[in-house]
Amino acid sequence: MPDNSYIVDNQILLKELSQQEVAPIFNIIDAEREYLGKWLPFVEYTLEITDTQNFIESLEISETKDFTFAIYFEDKFVGLVGLKDPDYDNKKVEIGYWLSESYQHKGIVTRSCKKLIDIAFNKLEMNRIQIKVATENLKSQQVAVRLGFKYEGIEREGELHKCGFLDLNVYSLLRNEFTVNN
């Protein structure tokens, strides 16, 4: 099980999500609804601060135990990154993330994901990590490619959004590829 926080580098800290982050998370979602809502289906259902509070509480009692971290960049909350839907029997997990629009293009998500990859392979002993990205979300696809993930194909109509179902590109990284690349 991961620790409570991880230093990624001299700019980025990943802190296990707690009730302390309720207001910062909600404030970014509320201020950036159009930007974040384009790719994140939960944005349209996050209408009040209690919605964010309930989300964090649900993580605390979840049997599958997603590992969700607040991303702090230069001591400011800027987004979330996490390991979701861990499947310990098959030793696989998925990485998910979102970042405030004003903090894009600084390598924050890529650097944060590198730390999660290390945690998944070396602490959780996973064999496979995947990232699923809407086929139209080119910026997020570039993160997967920069991290050395391999494109596997399209999960047709894999995620429901307010505009309907979106197709998802599926990328994966295997433990033996991580060892070779790092």
**pLDDT of amino acid 62:** 65
Is residue 1 scored above 50 in pLDDT? no
Kindly report the pTM of this predicted structure: 0.91
Q: In order of start, what are the domains of the chain with their CATH numbers?
A: 5-181 (3.40.630.30)
Edge to edge, the sheet with strand 92-99 lists 5-7, 12-16, 67-73, 76-87, 92-99, 128-134, 164-174, 150-161
Alpha-carbon gap, residue 119 to 67, rounded angstroms: 10
Alpha-carbon gap, residue 121 to 126, rounded angstroms: 5
Return contacts of 58-65, CB within 8 angstroms, 24+ apart.
59/17, 65/1
Work out the average pLDDT over 14-22.
92
